[in-house]
């Protein structure tokens, strides 16, 4: 009779099981430690805030020196460059805050940051909501 002897296969499987049980605790998983925003500082008054909406549209909010909203409107990506050029023409270093909707694509936020860099804006911050 031709029988399959499974004892060697069971022995091999038990040896592999022991090897994996011994080596598993030694392998460190890839953990990404993201920063928390529980203790974010209050931002200073920023003249321009750009919000990236979930539909990838842009909303620009401009403030005066006291923090009062002067202008708030929706713009396209092509109009963004003109708004930044106009604000930079007033002189001084132009700080900008970028806020992204929770469901906005990361690529959209990066596209806004890239456009700001092309326009020569040096001070760019990201707006966050603190958990309280």
67-92 pLDDT, tens digit per residue, is 778 888 888 888 888 888 888 887 76
Phi then psi for residue 99, to 5 deg, are -120, 135
Class of CATH domain 48-126 = alpha beta
Residues in the chain: 132
Instruction: Spell 108-123 as b/e; 16+ CB within 10 A means b.
Output: bbebbbebbeebebee
Give the phi and the psi of residue 18 in degrees, each rounded to 5.
-65, -40
Stretch 11-24: mean pLDDT:
92
Of 129, 49, 131, nearest to 96 (Cα)?
49
- pLDDT, tens only, 19-54: 999 988 887 665 544 445 666 555 565 678 888 888
Q: What is the pTM of this model?
A: 0.61
Q: Where are the domains of the chain?
A: 48-126
- Report DSSP state, residue 67: S
């Amino acid at each position: 009779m031709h029988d399959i002897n499974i004892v060697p296969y069971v022995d091999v499987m038990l040896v592999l099981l022991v090897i994996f049980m011994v080596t598993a605790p030694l392998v460190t998983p890839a953990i990404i430690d993201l920063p928390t925003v529980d203790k974010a500082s209050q931002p200073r008054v920023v003249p321009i805030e750009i919000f990236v909406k979930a539909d990838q549209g842009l909303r620009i909010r401009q403030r005066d020196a006291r923090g009062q909203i002067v202008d708030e409107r929706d713009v396209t990506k092509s109009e963004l460059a003109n708004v930044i050029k106009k604000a930079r023409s007033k002189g001084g270093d132009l700080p900008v805050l970028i806020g992204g909707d929770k469901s906005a694509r990361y690529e959209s936020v990066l596209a806004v940051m890239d456009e700001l860099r092309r326009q020569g804006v040096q001070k760019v911050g990201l707006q966050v909501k603190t958990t309280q």
